[in-house]
Structure 1
Amino acid sequence: MMKKIGLVLFTGALTLGLAACGGSDEGSSAKQEKSVETATAASGDEYTITAKNWEFSSDKELVIKKGTKVKINLVNKEGVHTISNDELGINLTADKPAEFTAEKTGEYELQCSTVCGATEDHEGMKISLKIID
């Protein structure tokens, strides 16, 4: 009886762990940052970041002009992911967009802040945001 309960608990934990990122690995290329077509932001721009199997992609490259008010949305296609960057004060979830004014120039790394797989997969789940003059 105890073995059955242990097996059920183990199976449930394994299922939850795999479900966090869709349960499949698309290879090492999925772990790398994705580059997308560049589109420099104008005042009041909105971006959508899509998350799936240990990778982020954006509808346009996150290049934002200093002083621009920005809204970033997150869509989870596979798994459950969040995005954060402490320096910019971003804590983005699929149900809560991030809104901020780009005030400090530089290149910032937006990282998945929900553990979503093996350490190397999770640590590689990031996307770049640039704020330019």
Structure 2
Amino acid sequence: MMKFLGVMLLTGSLTLGLTACGGTEEEETKAPDVSEETTPQQEEAVEETATSESPSDIEEFTITATNWTFTSDKELTVKKGSKVKLTLVNEEGVHTIGNEELGFDLNANEPVEFTADTAGEFELICSTICGAMDDHEAMTITLKVTE
């Protein structure tokens, strides 16, 4: 009898345990009811995301400075309206580079970003006196902004 009661209790416990964890498979995997139509606000958010700038939308240039010479990893030419990122690396001497019209003065290893709003050729000059005046004044590189 004792054995019978033990089996009955065990069977009852298992049955109760299994039904407590129940639920149908359909209920567990059913997705919430979402309308397939989008609101104008949702469409606008998608458009903004698609047109927002990513890091790859920035024209990046590294300018290397040696005594009395600037060189760039590639030609400094961008289209008007482009985002530009300039990085200056001093390989020899201590130099900075700037342009008043574009509104920046770039220190070594401190990149500057700006939007090239105006078409034209902009002379970027060493803004730290780095030697004899003739040598220092000749230390330039040109940024071209095309239409």
- TM-score tier after normalising by the smaller chain length: 0.5 to 0.7
Structure with the larger RCO, 1 or 2 (CA within 8 Å, 6+ apart)? 1
Structure 1: how far apart are the matches of 2:100 and 2:120?
Answer: 14
* Larger Rg computed on CA atoms: 2
Query: 1:70 pairs with 57, 60, 84, which one?
Result: 84
SS of 2:136's partner is: helix
Unaligned runs of 5+ in 2: 1-55
Alignment of 1:49-88 (within 5 A): 49-88=63-102
Query: 2:109 pairs with 78, 84, 95, which one?
Result: 95
CA drift at 1:43: 3.6
Structure 1-normalised TM-score?
0.67
- Paired residue type of 1:59: D
Structure 2-normalised TM-score?
0.61
**How many correspondences in the alignment?**
92
Unaligned runs of 5+ in 1: 1-41
Structure 2: how far apart are the matches of 1:89 and 1:43?
Answer: 21
- Identity rate of aligned residues, in percent? 61
Q: CA RMSD in A?
A: 1.1
Asked if 1:121 is matched to 2:139, the reply is no
